Structure 1
Amino acid sequence: MATAFADRLLAWHAHGGRHDLPWQHPRTPYRVWVSEIMLQQTQVGTVVPYFERFMARFPDIRALAAAPLDDVLHLWTGLGYYARARNLHRAAAQVCRDHEGRLPTDLAALAALPGIGRSTAGAILALGSGQRQPILDGNVKRVLCRHRAVAGWPGTTAVQARLWDIADSLTPPDHAADYTQAIMDLGALVCTRSRPRCGECPVHADCLALAADAVTHYPQPRPRRDLPQRRTALLLLRRPDGRVLLERRPPAGLWGGLWSLPEYTGAVTELADWCRVHYGLSPQAVHGGDPFIHTFSHFRLEITPLECRVQAAPTALDAPDRLWYNPANPARLGLAAPVRRLLAG
């Protein structure tokens, strides 16, 4: 069955797959790596312009490793899941330091780099170097869960192990790059989450979920849980010249390493005292904006913007983790999406 599965998939991919993605021309390990990191939890249509801008600025791994983190985060702004960008930058430096500027061709060594892991490492080696390596990204999990009617949520250890066994058994010894792209494309284009086009699927004849008329029952969803909601205020401390105070967030945690507006969780009546203590600034007036919701993977954040006019600040605020940002002439900084929205407003 494994040979038949791969042969049918490869034959379909020759005319039905994607052959014009920017990371396919040329398809180098570095370009595949960057694209795979960007594509984690992000759609291809969203990734393409980010990838092209990223490659124009960082055409190779040494350019990425040598760049300031702010440059990397700036080009990632709006793509979300910023730990991906920080890990990409860390991994590039590690590759230049420990592997002479070339991504390892050993699966374990590659998977050990920050932000990569087993499936991404397999995709880099298969697509970028032609190695026979199974992968298990979201699209592939969906295809395999349906084709073999694998019950259970794929995030569990037992189901994941079962899917790895199936993926390995179906991956052919040859044509690794084409097969890997083909099974990802099948999940993205045909075996989609909703409204799968089973009549166009090259492996529908032996799909167990289709035979049971239960395609949309697989893969089983993650057990539902309500997202908790938090509240915060973001301060636009604005000088007479229009510049706004920004602070760099700590490397770990929410918006790690990005530049953000100061966060305030106290009462509005205590804001003036808080600003004097923390920044030596005395707000002349406070104007509250409409709250809005920003959703993360594990909680929802209600953000209330508070704009405060302040006099010219002392030079003590010009520190490595603080700066006065000019929205009319923006610097190349990594900004969280809600912060960018408020600065643009």
Structure 2
Amino acid sequence: MTEQVAKTYFSKELLSWYRLQKRDLPWRKNRDPYRIWVSEIMLQQTRVDTVIPYYHTFMSKFPTVRSLAEAPEEEVLKCWEGLGYYSRARNLQAGARMVVEKYDGIIPDDKMAVSGLKGVGPYTSGAIMSIAFNRPEPAVDGNVMRVLSRYFCLEEDIAKPATRVGIEKLAVTLIPEGAAGDFNQALMELGALVCTPKSPSCLPCPVMEHCEARHTGRELELPIKTKAKAPRKEFRSAVIVLGKGENEGKILVRQRPATGLLAQMWELPHLQVPDDKSQWFSDSALKEQGELAEMLSHMVEGDTGLLIRPRNWLMDADHIFSHIVWKMRVYVTDLGEESVEDIRKLAAVSSEDLPMLAAESNEEYEVREVANTNSDVLTYRWISKEDMEQLPFPNLFLKILQYYWN
């Protein structure tokens, strides 16, 4: 079979299969470029089943580009809470603001303009242009590279940028005239449902008959991909500080700096333990647990002026980022008797006022904004369980707080 015959067969059979078997997904209700844009950003590194409820919530809260552009960032992050990879939400909102400023709130039918939006890379621009505007642009993600590598028996390493470029050029030649949107979605659908990474379902595959990997018994071997470097471990310890007086029933949290990992998200006070002290996280390291608790006490006192007293270990928790694994040990603490006078003074301050007071006073007893070692600003405040409904927390701290309060 010639290459052109194989291409024609692939495109025809795949498109027919998709139009009969495609899933009923909320972003497929119409071809609104904004809805497609939001869905594609949410779907990056995230399963469809996970995305669907978030998508419904997000679209109900921010139904238009302009509504997203004008929303407070904290509100957008809260709506994204639990979905992870929060830079996606920030970039999406930044892109929406660009659309409002440059294009009067209308996403343009122009590849260069769409590609210039914050957070929009080659795949996302291809998806928007093809699905929303039916332009014959490739939308090549991991699913697509896997499908085409197997069908055409491509042996190039898909982790290399040059391989992606080559597959994009190949994908363009496969797009049937007038059916770019459906075809690109069909490719993604096949990779997600049938031509899966570890256990491809070859028998129900609509293009199995001419799949080169299947013919040569290499469907489990392809695609070839260099393994990514394993994420490094970071040992951290956090405290749940219980309030007193007017802050009875509340706990102390802080907001991360405006830049960097998890920017502007809220979290429990915590610190990174030096790598040479990782043995402190052993269950048998009783003496070291005391040293770790002392470090935490010094951190909170230095940041806020409050003296804390460890009460008990609560839990250990792990969180995997793309390049880091946080190994977190969590303790419950209260305010020591030595800080009674400080507590009385602090009790006169409402938790909502604390970030404002931080800029107005340097009195030792106040929970205030403090500079960390990177000169980034941290904001501390007391919150109740109900306040969690307003503040965005990363998944790790969200799970810890839910475990504590439930």
Following superposition, the deviation at residue 153 of structure 1 comes to: 2.7
Partner of 1:237: 241
Partner of 1:341: 399
Partners of 2:70 and 2:17 in 1: how far apart? 42
Partners of 1:188 and 1:154 in 2: how far apart? 17
The structure 1 residue matched to 2:389, chosen from 302, 312, 331, is 331
Please list the CA deviations of residues 192-215 of structure 1 after superposition, one character each: whole Å capped at 9, or x if unmatched.
Answer: 112212222222222111111101
Given that 1:250 and 1:256 are in contact with CA atoms closer than 8 Å, whether structure 2 keeps it comes out as yes
Following superposition, the deviation at residue 341 of structure 1 comes to: 1.3
Residues 270 and 46 of structure 1: CA distance in aligned 2, closer, same or farther (over 3 Å): closer
Matches for 1:240-319 after TM superposition, within 5 Å? 240=244, 241-265=248-272, 267-310=292-335, 311=343, 313=346, 315=349, 318-319=354-355
Number of aligned residue pairs: 344
More deviation in 283-292 or 84-93? 283-292
Following superposition, the deviation at residue 336 of structure 1 comes to: 0.5
The 3-state SS of whatever aligns with 1:199 is: coil
More deviation in 329-338 or 181-190? 329-338
Partners of 1:54 and 1:146 in 2: how far apart? 36
Given that 2:152 and 2:211 are in contact with CA atoms closer than 8 Å, whether structure 1 keeps it comes out as yes
More deviation in 210-219 or 233-242? 233-242
Partners of 2:107 and 2:302 in 1: how far apart? 48
Residues 273 and 205 of structure 1: CA distance in aligned 2, closer, same or farther (over 3 Å): closer
Give the AA of the match of 2:57.
R
Normalising by structure 1, what TM-score?
A: 0.93
Given that 1:235 and 1:308 are in contact with CA atoms closer than 8 Å, whether structure 2 keeps it comes out as yes
The 3-state SS of whatever aligns with 2:148 is: helix
Higher relative contact order, structure no. (Cα contacts within 8 Å, ≥ 6 residues apart) = 1
Residues 195 and 276 of structure 1: CA distance in aligned 2, closer, same or farther (over 3 Å): closer
Partner of 2:117: 113
Partner of 2:22: 17
1:8 aligns with 2:13: yes
Matches for 1:138-153 after TM superposition, within 5 Å? 138-153=142-157
Residues 272 and 198 of structure 1: CA distance in aligned 2, closer, same or farther (over 3 Å): closer
Following superposition, the deviation at residue 295 of structure 1 comes to: 1.3
1:79 aligns with 2:83: yes
Please list the CA deviations of residues 243-273 of structure 1 after superposition, one character each: whole Å capped at 9, or x if unmatched.
Answer: 2222221233322221111222363224333
Given that 2:150 and 2:222 are in contact with CA atoms closer than 8 Å, whether structure 1 keeps it comes out as yes
Given that 2:270 and 2:296 are in contact with CA atoms closer than 8 Å, whether structure 1 keeps it comes out as no
Matches for 1:95-134 after TM superposition, within 5 Å? 95-134=99-138
Following superposition, the deviation at residue 36 of structure 1 comes to: 0.2
The 3-state SS of whatever aligns with 1:290 is: strand
Partners of 2:125 and 2:35 in 1: how far apart? 13
Which residues of structure 2 form unaligned runs of 5+? 274-291, 336-342, 357-378
Partner of 2:205: 201
The structure 1 residue matched to 2:169, chosen from 165, 171, 174, is 165
Partners of 1:322 and 1:104 in 2: how far apart? 42
More deviation in 104-113 or 130-139? 104-113
Give the AA of the match of 2:171.
A
Partners of 2:311 and 2:104 in 1: how far apart? 54
Given that 2:257 and 2:263 are in contact with CA atoms closer than 8 Å, whether structure 1 keeps it comes out as yes
Which residues of structure 1 form unaligned runs of 5+? none
Give the AA of the match of 1:252.
T
Partner of 1:218: 222
Partners of 2:308 and 2:191 in 1: how far apart? 54
Following superposition, the deviation at residue 329 of structure 1 comes to: 4.8
Normalising by structure 2, what TM-score?
A: 0.80
From the CA coordinates, give the structure whose radius of gyration is larger: 2
Query: RMSD of aligned C-alpha atoms?
Result: 1.9
Please list the CA deviations of residues 17-54 of structure 1 after superposition, one character each: whole Å capped at 9, or x if unmatched.
Answer: 22x10011133100000000000001101100000011
Moved segments of 4+, more than 6 Å: none
Partners of 2:182 and 2:333 in 1: how far apart? 56
More deviation in 103-112 or 307-316? 307-316
Give the AA of the match of 1:236.
I
Give the AA of the match of 1:338.
L
Partner of 1:35: 39
The 3-state SS of whatever aligns with 1:158 is: helix
